[in-house]
Chain A
């Protein structure tokens, strides 16, 4: 087991390193290939009417004068060990994980990300509770009453759910229920307002995922209910209730847990569309703004954070899977 954990953890780290390289390459190399010069990039952050000298100075400040390998090295060093940054008269140490300072706002990226994290996490976790409850229970009921009116209605609704773009359901629900829009209130400021404001985004997001999970659960449940060991359980004389809960559900939910972990990991890296639709200042919106502003430290920070969540979610899921499924743990 320890070997397994270490192996998976090493794999995760490797994946993160690869991700960071690819991200770096995409955001540094591709714009160059598309014709953007480093001068133009730097000029974006000098303000109005920059002189060549000012552009050069800005390039030095942003580190854009260095070869890409050096820039990448600095980037990695910042994350691992932190970096020193000059603010004119003062120099400040940016502690790890240091994703650098935004070209545009000149604020360190990491605290901003942490800030945004609260919004995205609130959105993701709130919605996930709803969709797990709704999706799994509907999926199980559908599977148990396969072919019934409930099953048909639920599955058509679920298919509709996965067929609706979230920005459409989001906007529609805003237009119908909350034309004034949503504004995020921190849970620490006012938990009630927090929940009230997030309710609509939660439901919208949960609708999509609940639809996915209902389909997934139903399929998994049907497959499990056809397994030999379910027949064995019945042959032992177990009441159907126990067959369903202790035997079928346990086996069905384990792979769903995997999917769930990955979905949460993906969402924590920024619910781009949901946040855009509801104007929620989360990681996803931050990412879009960063990309639109060409703000490389922000882009790198947010991409790495998103990749980190996905990779860590993967890792946790793997480990949880090992806990849940003795075949994985003990082989």
Chain B
């Protein structure tokens, strides 16, 4: 097997701040092949967005180390100009809130045209035609009219479609979607996810889907990386993660999954406490203050990410058998009882 299209190895990202160096991402590794989808899941501040921005080279003032390989190019060694040329063309990104992510003063068409013409020497007319095609492709009705509308004239879902059209306008081989559906209501969410899946199939794109919501990644992803406080907590295939999760944090996330078939408010399983501040990460396992199973080791030692099954890695001090027992006896019934 050759190296995946995108290979991230031991990525570390840190920011100098007034309060000292903040390590937002620690030793994260993963790979994504063409046509494959990786889901990255975690709360705010878990480092998932920083990871994706680090790949894109969009972090200002951050220190990155480790390795990022995109189609055989080392992004950390490439010049910023080289990386810029890759952006949009080889790797593209969709952001959470399409309203704020699109320039309010330019029409949707202008913004797609701009993205296209940066990487293609074509006339405006050609680019416009392409923009209309792209809008059509992402399912915007009457694209020849809507192309001249401004972002605020679109509905939320349409805006996200337009955003996707813009991101895909140069046929990128890697698409990073950072919380693409968070700002949308549930029915639209499903449409957008379907759209991403369809487009991925058509373009054979590698996709990284970032979300705090396991539900979003459940159907789309081949593999899932659960992050907590800048570290990988669990990394597994989607099937393994949902059927045999091993990290208490993953259990919590599973419990808190909102589902279409249930009243969300009264049955959500929840995690106590609040996510840690990256300025002041708890020692040992960062999750220990919120973990009901924490022991002395959790409080002092950072648990290593160890492979518990082929392609399934977990960073937790609880012995493997104990974890599986808790899952089977305590958690699973609660989660599935909710179902």
A residues in contact (CB < 8 Å) with B: 227-229, 231-240, 246-247, 250-251, 254, 324-327, 330-331
B264 touches A (CB below 8 Å): no
* Docked CA distance A239–B117 (Å): 12
Instruction: Pull 13 A–B residue pairs with CB atoms less than 8 Å apart, ordered by A.
Output: A231-B53, A231-B58, A232-B95, A235-B56, A235-B93, A236-B87, A236-B115, A238-B88, A238-B118, A239-B118, A326-B152, A327-B104, A330-B150
| B residues near A233, Cβ cutoff 8 Å | 103
State the interface size on chain B (CB cutoff 8 A).
Answer: 31
* Docked CA distance A235–B150 (Å): 20
Those of B56-102 within 8 Å (CB) of chain A: 56, 58, 84-89, 92-93, 95, 97, 100-102
| A250 contacts B56, C-beta separation under 8 Å | no
| B residues near A325, Cβ cutoff 8 Å | 104-105
CB of B112, distance to nearest CB on chain A (Å): 9
| A236 contacts B118, C-beta separation under 8 Å | yes
| A residues near B167, Cβ cutoff 8 Å | 235
| B residues near A251, Cβ cutoff 8 Å | 103-105
| B residues near A227, Cβ cutoff 8 Å | 100
| B105 contacts A235, C-beta separation under 8 Å | no
B133 touches A (CB below 8 Å): no
CB of A195, distance to nearest CB on chain B (Å): 36
* Docked CA distance A227–B95 (Å): 12
* Docked CA distance A324–B88 (Å): 27
B153 touches A (CB below 8 Å): yes
| A254 contacts B105, C-beta separation under 8 Å | yes
| A residues near B144, Cβ cutoff 8 Å | none
B residues in contact (CB < 8 Å) with A: 53, 56, 58, 84-89, 92-93, 95, 97, 100-105, 107, 114-115, 118-119, 150, 152-153, 163, 166-167, 170
| A228 contacts B56, C-beta separation under 8 Å | no
| B residues near A326, Cβ cutoff 8 Å | 104-105, 107, 150, 152
Given contacts A228-B95, A327-B152, A330-B153, contact A237 B88 (CB under 8 A): yes
Interchain CB contact (< 8 A) of A331 among B101, B107, B152, B170 = B152
* Docked CA distance A233–B112 (Å): 10
Most buried by A among B88, B100, B103: B103
* Docked CA distance A251–B104 (Å): 9
Taking CB as reference atom, which chain A residue is nearest B57?
Answer: A234
CB of B15, distance to nearest CB on chain A (Å): 14
| A228 contacts B119, C-beta separation under 8 Å | no
CB of A224, distance to nearest CB on chain B (Å): 10
| B150 contacts A237, C-beta separation under 8 Å | no
| A228 contacts B100, C-beta separation under 8 Å | yes
* Docked CA distance A331–B153 (Å): 8
| A residues near B163, Cβ cutoff 8 Å | 232
